[in-house]
Amino acid sequence: MSHRQFTAQLTGVFGFPVTPFHRDLSLDTSALARNVDEMASHPFCGIVAAGGTGELYSLTTDEAELVVQTTVDVVNGRMPVVAGTGFNAAIGAEMARRAERAGAQAILVLPPYYIASPEAGLFAYYRAIADATSLPLIVYSRDWAVFTPEMVARLSESIPSLVAWKDGQGDIRRLQRIMNYNGDRLAWFGGLGDDCAPGYFAIGVQAYTSSISNIAPQLSLDLAEAGLARDFVRMNELMKRYVHPLYALRERARGYEVAAMKAAMEMLGKPAGPVRPPLMDCRPGDLTDLRNLIEIYRDVHPLPQPAHR
């Protein structure tokens, strides 16, 4: 299968598991295996190991490799595993090599550490990682990795293994111009959040990445199904009931896109543990509001019942 044939089959939604930690912030691979096994029992188009929701930037190179290896082993061929990488050219290349050895089927490249990279240096960063592996490359355009349509064309022309683009900017106008300018030379994925799914599918992405997949996998799949069918009436109903209230809470503090999801998982009886610095765990008042909010997920995920006394 060619790289383009591989990415062409990635339609719908990617599961995006968190990386669970023990209370002492050490890696909890048993919890990771349990969560990934449950996630992989649903028909996602792929699972992303050690991505942004997986707190990639808090992991060591060895830990990232272990997360990818554990995910690949547990998924056991049920769907492709995409491995995150980033930091800088040398570390990113090493992580990509290790991910390929661990059995990942594609590499998701997060932005480099340096926020003021010139175009030539930024492109060299992506080329170094691409050259380190034979796997297809997906660029994650988020934070300071902002591209024009012409930049995307130049980058894809210079890196043959670059076959997919994951947007993390949420600027639908810009993304639509990028997609229109570059056409089918790349596969297009929405990646900022479940709350952006209607806009993403409206302009023609073939899949999106979901953090809600950690707490309500079927809801993620229902959103993607409605989006691909352009059933925006159904999609907006799901957004109003489940997605917008959760994302409003996630916006209360930086880093809550991970911390709130981990806290919600724990409330639903799924092991997740704390976040690592520089993220922070949810504040007590926000946890109370989250606990009340998560009740609406009872019909898409059974909540654990209190123990009888």
**Residue 300 confidence (pLDDT):** 79
**Residue 233 confidence (pLDDT):** 97
**Residue 299 confidence (pLDDT):** 76
Contacts of 27 (CB under 8 A, 6+ apart): 19, 20, 21, 59, 63, 66, 67
Token pair of 37, please?
């096994």
CB 192 within 8 A of CB 169: yes
**Residue 106 confidence (pLDDT):** 98
- Which of 126, 140, 208, 242 is catalytic? The answer is 140
- Which of 166, 200, 262, 297 is catalytic? The answer is 166
Question: Which residue, 229, 255, 227, is CA-closest to 243?
Answer: 227
125 is catalytic: no
**Residue 213 confidence (pLDDT):** 97
Task: Compute the distance between CA of residue 279 and CA of residue 275 in angstroms, rounded to an integer.
Answer: 6
**Residue 27 confidence (pLDDT):** 98
Condensed to tens digits (0 to 9), the pLDDT of residues 35-78 reads: 999 999 999 999 999 999 999 999 999 999 999 999 999 999 99
Task: Compute the distance between CA of residue 139 and CA of residue 33 in angstroms, rounded to an integer.
Answer: 26
Q: Which residue numbers in the chain have pLDDT < 50?
A: 303-309
166 is catalytic: yes
**Residue 309 confidence (pLDDT):** 28
Condensed to tens digits (0 to 9), the pLDDT of residues 84-94 reads: 999 999 999 99
In the chain, beta strands by DSSP E = 12-15, 46-49, 81-87, 106-112, 137-142, 162-168, 187-190, 207-210
How far CA 161 is from CA of 18, 106, 296, in Å, comes to 27, 10, 43
3-state percent breakdown (helix, strand, coil) of the chain, nearest 5: 50, 15, 35
Domains and CATH numbers, the chain: 3-230 (3.20.20.70)
Instruction: List alpha helices for 47-142, DSSP H.
Output: 61-75, 89-102, 119-131
Task: Compute the distance between CA of residue 230 and CA of residue 93 in angstroms, rounded to an integer.
Answer: 38
Helices (H) and strands (E) in the chain, counts: 13, 8
